[in-house]
Amino acid sequence: MKLLRSIISTHGTRLTVIGAVALIAALSVSAAKLAAGQTKAVTTVSTSEPQELLRDIAAPKTETLSTPATPHVHQIMMEVTAYCPCAKCCGPKAQGITASGKLVTYNAGRFVAADRSMPFGTKLIVPGYHNTQPVEVLDRGGAIKGNKLDVFFPTHKEALKWGRQHVLVTVVD
Ligand SMILES: [Zn+2]
């Protein structure tokens, strides 16, 4: 009986040890499972995240695409004439003040007269005028309607030199 007891006890301890090992093993397995589950969770998160990111990227993309495409930049083929502040170009009552109230000396006399569809301050790029740099719409003119534009020059000589040109005008804003 003593021997059996000791065997049992030893066996018992062994069992306990085995049990403990099994428990540890089971724990480590569950830990591994947990870890695996976590990695799975992480993978699912990381796979779902780029999708959301893609959606996030895709959403403002359409916004950024629509922003410059709609009102800010467009081109119009225009008939561009030129004028100066002289009585011949602006009539005998010419006082050197544009329709916007700005003096003709504004921006060193580089601005344009356009139709009312273009508010004052609208920036236009007129190829060949002001080194193809943007200029503002500051003036109006009786004959300046629709797709007609009048570029300003300080002298009549320069205005004559421009003549009449059909150019692709870019509306900056
Ligand atoms: Zn003139």
The token pair at 166 is 């059909």
Residue of 94, 98, 118 whose CA lies nearest to 110 = 98
Taking the centre of ligand 1 as the mean of its atom positions, its distance from the CA of residue 19, in whole angstroms, is 107
Q: Report how far residue 124's alpha carbon sits from residue 121's, in angstroms, rounded to the nearest whole number.
A: 9
Which residues, given as ranges, of the chain have pLDDT below 70? Answer: 1-72
Taking the centre of ligand 1 as the mean of its atom positions, its distance from the CA of residue 100, in whole angstroms, is 19
Q: Report how far residue 168's alpha carbon sits from residue 76's, in angstroms, rounded to the nearest whole number.
A: 6
Give the per-residue pLDDT at 59: 45
Residue 107's alpha-carbon distances to 51, 82, 119, 149, in angstroms, are 50, 16, 17, 18
3-state DSSP assignment of residue 152 = strand
Can you give the pTM of this predicted structure? 0.59
Residue 60 identity: P
Taking the centre of ligand 1 as the mean of its atom positions, its distance from the CA of residue 29, in whole angstroms, is 93
Cβ partners under 8 Å of residue 115, min gap 6: 140, 144, 145, 146, 147, 148
Give the per-residue pLDDT at 72: 60
Residue 146 — left, alpha, or beta (φ > 0 → left; ψ -120 to 50 → alpha)?
left
Taking the centre of ligand 1 as the mean of its atom positions, its distance from the CA of residue 64, in whole angstroms, is 43
Taking the centre of ligand 1 as the mean of its atom positions, its distance from the CA of residue 123, in whole angstroms, is 23
Distance of CA 60 to the CA centre of its chain: 9
Taking the centre of ligand 1 as the mean of its atom positions, its distance from the CA of residue 155, in whole angstroms, is 6
Pair 98, 141: CB distance under 8 Å: no
Taking the centre of ligand 1 as the mean of its atom positions, its distance from the CA of residue 75, in whole angstroms, is 28
Give the per-residue pLDDT at 71: 53
Give the per-residue pLDDT at 94: 85
